[in-house]
Amino acid sequence: MSVARFWRKIPQRYNLTGTRCATCGRYFFPPRYLCPDCRRAGKIGEHRFSGMGKVVTYTVIRTASEQFEQMTPYVLAIVELDEGPRLTAQLVCSPDEVRIGMRVRPVFRRISADGESGVIHYGTKFAPENP
Amino acid sequence: MSVARFWRKIPQRYNLTGTRCATCGRYFFPPRYLCPDCRRAGKIGEHRFSGMGKVVTYTVIRTASEQFEQMTPYVLAIVELDEGPRLTAQLVCSPDEVRIGMRVRPVFRRISADGESGVIHYGTKFAPENP
Amino acid sequence: MRDVAVIGIGCTPFGEKWGSSFRDLFVQAGTMALEDAGVAGEEIGAMYVGNMSAGRFIEQEHVGALIADYAGLASDHIASTRVEAACASGGLSFRQAFIAVASGIEDIVVAAGVEKMTDVGTGASVDALAGAADREWEGFVGATFPGLYAMIATDYMNRYPLTREQLAEVAVKNHYNGARNPIAQFSQEITIETVLSSSLVADPLRLFDCSPITDGAAAVVLAPLERAREYTDTPVRVLASAQASDTIALHDRRDISTLDATVAAGKRAFAMAGLSPGDIDLVEVHDCFTIAEICAIEDLGFCRKGEAGRLTAEGVTALGGDLPVNTSGGLKACGHPVGATGIKQVCEVVQQLRGEAGRRQVDGARIGMTHNVGGTGATVAVHILGV
Amino acid sequence: MRDVAVIGIGCTPFGEKWGSSFRDLFVQAGTMALEDAGVAGEEIGAMYVGNMSAGRFIEQEHVGALIADYAGLASDHIASTRVEAACASGGLSFRQAFIAVASGIEDIVVAAGVEKMTDVGTGASVDALAGAADREWEGFVGATFPGLYAMIATDYMNRYPLTREQLAEVAVKNHYNGARNPIAQFSQEITIETVLSSSLVADPLRLFDCSPITDGAAAVVLAPLERAREYTDTPVRVLASAQASDTIALHDRRDISTLDATVAAGKRAFAMAGLSPGDIDLVEVHDCFTIAEICAIEDLGFCRKGEAGRLTAEGVTALGGDLPVNTSGGLKACGHPVGATGIKQVCEVVQQLRGEAGRRQVDGARIGMTHNVGGTGATVAVHILGV
Ligand SMILES: [Zn+2]
Ligand SMILES: [Zn+2]
């Protein structure tokens, strides 16, 4: 498993650093460096998201790939950040607790451990705003 | 690393079992189940090769992929079997010894060890006929 | 642009084929297709091969050349090209072959699809399949492929009237059809209880909502329509070929429960053929999961959003219904050797239009459609065939 | 079949780009190509993406859709197709794009190539690259990619007059050219001694006989010739597009030292363009190893078998020579991001034909050729471009 691939995205995954198009005002997370609306006219800058948002949809993963096997069952969701963009993330809550529309806040957690290399990947998960 | 993929080829790799087209008489190793000359008219049967042959060309591998790293340097050659077909194989001889046209005979050897799974792969290498 | 026809089809039995290698599978399907077409190898001008992930499944890339070689065509030095778009690889292979013939660049072209999936364990294949979605922003956080479709199902069921039982009806219907297809991976009919009592994979999807891991290959032979009768009495015309893309990640879509790429490709295909949904006699849709069939029926325009569950429960999409969907058994019951699926769909429609579908024959079928999806909808290929 | 022109080109700097991801690289090249063409995103009808092994290098398949998405084109739902033939993926991507425009199916088409190789270690990348050859009957016994070309070199040097020094001259020339190409991975000139004193990789090939591991992306924009002048004053015509295959394994070839697929594709290209080798002003050949350039020059018909070493030593293929070969620096010095190479070759020829190649400009160049090889010659794409 690659190391550079994960280092490169540490600011994005640890701090929810995405981008914003100054031309049209649209926010991007995961970050984009080309605005689909403004294309080459778009002026892209970095934006650090607060990470506050709500659950758009979700599932409970019961059968996972090798790297995530020991974490099952876990709640996976699409979260809409308050600035507009959506991302896929794990929720730190029980399968019974999750609801569509539920407000969430970001928490920094271990995402997975790579068995082969022993590298542990960290990143942002989300927890219910009002537990 | 896959297990079925290697089991499937054990007869071929251990015993040099290839194929022959009864229609045109052409031999195939590695085995083919469709004769390129006769196509659907070709009647394909199994053929066990004696493994006697000669070196067509060769190299000495000094930088290998992970599975073969601990075996470097090793001699790799294209061997032409006496029945006609050619295959790629390691030679069990020193880099100084190998020559184009050199007669070779088959020897059963460990081909590689898969570090991750611990599976050891065996197969046919070739040695000089007259050492 | 010339008219193009399918003049031959071949498909291996689908399933866990431990005795067959990647190249064995293709040779079997390719030989059947050439025999069916009555085409000699040396007449073939080019090949296209749909394959998703031989690099991960058997550590082999460059499978276009591999397959032309093991088909005995190396000495003719024919052009052979691998095309990849995850689960839509087969559909795109068919489309590229269609373009090659329609443009006049080639006359006889083989479009094939192959996937050899059971040479790796389940964990490794789940991981390879996750490569169809966004590895960095979906797979990295633990999204599996069933998990992504499960999130479509959660969203869909929250917004539209679809019951868990109606969703199960999709699987029941497709197993019924698969039981009538000799090449299908599963030959057993199932009941709603089979689905509802199977283990949860990703809520609300259960094991019987999911297509299986499958080995298989399929091939078809294309020719200019004007030459098709030299080879066959039953040429099947390609009336439309369309392809569309969308965001790689599900979270970036305009609407979680509508596959806009299906909508776009469907519209383009109907426009090209000068047809509308009412003209279609049967359709093979991409039911990698039960929810995918529900979305496909709606997104292709066969009914309004939210109606497909009810129509399925009412039998409209069953073999004897107004619009038989997935007469082959679909990905669900016939099996889903990823790169081969899009070509198998064409084989099924051709069999139906020729009237050779045996116990699953749709009476009087004259126009059929195929719908092949890559990932969660980032690529869609739609084809319309007719006699 | 319409005439087709290249109306825009873009290429990232090649090298070890640790700061850039796969999608970053493509966006950079694609944006440059669209800017060069003066084409707006919404005018693009389709994309083709050449990529060998994103599945192994970054665990990501389905990169056609990924790239259309990150190019900001998802909402247009354009058709985007990944094409793979190992190191010839870029050449095949260009060919498919050419066919799409020539056939009239699309007007403005982007042909791209990308490879992100340095996200895995050297051992893993050697292993991924071995997937270009026959995994079961070459890779399984310990054949590496340099090892296979080394066996070509051993056979060639046994049968034809080629000295070790002449072979080194290929690398020296290509580094000389690369030093004059701002995007090249290596900007240093080297001497014969540099090559001969570098470590042996696979006898007789040494480190400086081998192309490096490279990250990079390239993109070109194609349009019907009749519309090209709407976009550019310097359209470059595609005079021929040809593709050929051969056995996947080197040991199954008719002749170890002749790439029959190069011979076949070369002949087809010359026939299509109505040209002969003497008409070509410059050629980008696939010099993944020094011996590969020697074979290519001969197999394309520029000289007889056995003469290319002498011609190289005499400077015939140098910048000021009669037939400049690999003015970009080739794979050897410019770098070899596998899937991008075939497109980069087109970018180089277009720059030369436009007279924009700066310090490596070939005076009065009007017709150029590209030659892109997959594996050890199982796939070859040849294109001829002209102004
Ligand atoms: Zn913008
Ligand atoms: Zn025969």
Statement to judge: residues D353 and D279 lie in one domain: yes
Q: Closest partner residue to A89 among C130, C141, C256, by Cβ?
A: C141
Q: Which chains touch A (3 or more CB pairs under 8 A)?
A: C, D
Interface with C, mutate which of A76, A111, A116, A126 (most C CBs under 10 A) = A76
Does residue C55 lie in a domain region?
A: yes
Q: How far apart are CA D330 and CA C219, in angstroms?
A: 38
Q: Closest Cα to residue D255, out of D362, D152, D370, D179? A: D152
Per-residue pLDDT at B10: 84
Per-residue pLDDT at A115: 59
Contacting residues of C for D96, CB less than 8 Å apart: 81, 96
pLDDT at A15 over 60: yes
Quote the crossing angle between the two packed helices D164-178 and D290-299, to the nearest 10°. 90
- Kindly state the greatest CA–CA separation across chain B: 46
Per-residue pLDDT at A1: 44
Distance A56 CA to ligand 1 centre (A): 24
Q: Do D62 and C374 touch (CB under 8 A)?
A: yes
Question: CA D172, D173, D177 angle in degrees (round to 5)?
Answer: 115
Q: How many CB pairs under 8 A join B and D?
A: 104
Token output for D43? 């005018």
DSSP string, C245-302: E--SSGGGSS-TTS-HHHHHHHHHHHHHHT--GGG-SEEE---SBHHHHHHHHHHTTS
Does residue C134 lie in a domain region?
A: no
pLDDT at B117 over 70: no
Q: pLDDT-derived band of residue B1, with 50, 70 and 90 as boundaries?
A: very low
Statement to judge: residues C65 and C150 lie in one domain: no
Statement to judge: residues C39 and C175 lie in one domain: no
Domain containing C219: what range?
A: 4-122+214-236
Relative to beta strand C108-115, strand C44-50 is parallel
DSSP helix/strand/coil, C147: helix
Statement to judge: residues C95 and C149 lie in one domain: no
Does residue C29 lie in a domain region?
A: yes
pLDDT at A49 over 70: yes
Q: What is the identity of the amino acid at D41?
A: G
Q: Which chains touch B (3 or more CB pairs under 8 A)?
A: C, D
Burial grade of A94 (CB within 10 A; 0-12, 13-18, 19 or more): exposed
Over range B11-16, report the average pLDDT.
Answer: 88
Residues 6 or more apart from C10 whose CB is under 8 A from it? Answer: C28, C29, C30, C31, C32, C33, C34, C35, C36, C218, C219, C220, C347
Q: Do A2 and D120 touch (CB under 8 A)?
A: yes
pLDDT at B23 over 50: yes
pLDDT at B2 over 60: no
Statement to judge: residues D63 and D156 lie in one domain: no
Statement to judge: residues C37 and C165 lie in one domain: no
Going by the DSSP 8-state scheme, the letter that residue A1 receives in this structure is -
Decide if A112 contacts C139 (C-beta within 8 A).
no
Query: What digits encode the pLDDT tens for the residues D208-250?
Result: 999 999 999 999 999 999 999 999 999 999 999 999 999 999 9
Above pLDDT 70, what percent of chain B?
Answer: 93
In order of start, what are the domains of chain A with their CATH numbers?
1-49 (no CATH), 50-131 (2.40.50.840)
DSSP string, A63-102: S--GGGGGG-SEEEEEEEETTS-EEEEEESS-TTT--TT-
Statement to judge: residues D154 and D248 lie in one domain: yes
Place of tokens 């066919």: D99
Q: Closest Cα to residue C381, out of C163, C97, C130? A: C97
Does residue C342 lie in a domain region?
A: yes
Q: How many CB pairs under 8 A join B and C?
A: 34
**A48 - beta bridge partners?**
A17
Tally the domains of chain D: 2
Token output for C294? 């529900």
Token output for D211? 């192309």
Contacting residues of A for C255, CB less than 8 Å apart: none
Per-residue pLDDT at A97: 96
Q: pLDDT-derived band of residue B40, with 50, 70 and 90 as boundaries?
A: confident
Which numbered ligand comes closest to the C-alpha of A32? 1
Does residue C130 lie in a domain region?
A: no
Ligand 1 (ion): residues with CB under 5 Å are A 21, 23-24, 35, 37-38, 42
- Decide if A27 touches C, using CB distance below 8 A: no
- Distance of residue B33 Cα from the nearest chain D Cα, in angstroms: 15
Query: What digits encode the pLDDT tens for the residues B47-105?
Result: 999 999 999 999 999 999 888 989 999 999 999 999 999 999 999 999 999 999 999 99
User: Rg of chain D's alpha carbons, rounded to an integer?
Assistant: 19
DSSP helix/strand/coil, D37: helix
Going by the DSSP 8-state scheme, the letter that residue D42 receives in this structure is G
Residues in chain B, overall count: 131
Token output for C312? 């399925």
Q: What is the identity of the amino acid at D170?
A: V
Does residue C127 lie in a domain region?
A: no
Statement to judge: residues C118 and C231 lie in one domain: yes
Q: Do C154 and A57 touch (CB under 8 A)?
A: yes
Decide if C374 contacts C287 (C-beta within 8 A).
no
Average pLDDT, chain B: 91
Statement to judge: residues D179 and D285 lie in one domain: yes
We report the CATH number of the domain holding residue D270 as 3.40.47.10
Q: Do D203 and B59 touch (CB under 8 A)?
A: yes
Contacting residues of C for B5, CB less than 8 Å apart: 21, 58, 119
Per-residue pLDDT at A131: 64
Q: How far apart are CA C381 and CA C341, in angstroms?
A: 12
Q: Closest partner residue to C99 among D100, D248, D254, by Cβ?
A: D100
pLDDT at A2 over 70: no
Q: Do D151 and B59 touch (CB under 8 A)?
A: yes
- Distance of residue A118 Cα from the nearest chain C Cα, in angstroms: 16
Does residue C112 lie in a domain region?
A: yes
Higher pLDDT residue, C248 or A65? Answer: C248
Statement to judge: residues C48 and C195 lie in one domain: no
Q: Closest partner residue to D147 among B61, B67, B125, by Cβ?
A: B61
Distance of CA C347 to the CA centre of its chain: 10
Instruction: Extract the residue ranges of chain D whose pLDDT is less than 50.
Output: none
| C-alpha to C-alpha distances, D74 to A106, C4, C157, nearest whole angstrom | 28, 29, 26
Distance C58 CA to ligand 2 centre (A): 28
Contacting residues of D for C141, CB less than 8 Å apart: none
Token output for B106? 């088959």
Q: How many CB pairs under 8 A join C and D?
A: 210
- Distance of residue C202 Cα from the nearest chain A Cα, in angstroms: 5
Q: What is the identity of the amino acid at C205?
A: L
Burial grade of B127 (CB within 10 A; 0-12, 13-18, 19 or more): middle
Torsion of CA A81, A83, A86, A90, to 10 degrees: -20
**A105 - beta bridge partners?**
A127
pTM: 0.97
Residue B95's closest chain D neighbor by CA?
D203
Decide if D332 contacts D194 (C-beta within 8 A).
no
Residue D71's closest chain A neighbor by CA?
A34
Residue-by-residue pLDDT tens, chain C, 387 positions: 899 999 999 999 999 999 999 999 999 999 999 999 999 989 999 999 999 999 999 999 999 999 999 999 999 999 999 999 999 999 999 999 999 999 999 999 999 999 999 999 888 888 899 999 999 999 999 999 999 999 999 999 999 999 999 999 999 999 999 999 999 999 999 999 999 999 999 999 999 999 999 999 999 999 999 999 999 999 999 999 999 999 999 999 999 999 999 999 999 999 999 999 999 999 999 999 999 999 999 999 999 999 999 999 999 999 999 999 999 999 999 999 999 999 999 999 999 999 999 999 999 999 999 999 999 999 999 999 999
Statement to judge: residues C243 and C224 lie in one domain: no
- Decide if A69 touches C, using CB distance below 8 A: yes
DSSP string, D225-283: HHHHTTT-SS-EEEEEEEEEE--SSGGGSS-TTS-HHHHHHHHHHHHHHT--GGG-SEE
Active site positions of C, annotated = 87, 336
Q: Closest partner residue to B76 among D136, D143, D155, by Cβ?
A: D143
Which numbered ligand comes closest to the C-alpha of B26? 2
Q: Do B78 and D251 touch (CB under 8 A)?
A: yes
Does residue D85 lie in a domain region?
A: yes
- Distance of residue C218 Cα from the nearest chain A Cα, in angstroms: 28
- Decide if A55 touches C, using CB distance below 8 A: no
Relative to beta strand A17-21, strand A44-48 is antiparallel
Q: Do A65 and C203 touch (CB under 8 A)?
A: no
**D4 - beta bridge partners?**
D224
Statement to judge: residues C262 and C380 lie in one domain: yes
- Kindly state the greatest CA–CA separation across chain D: 58
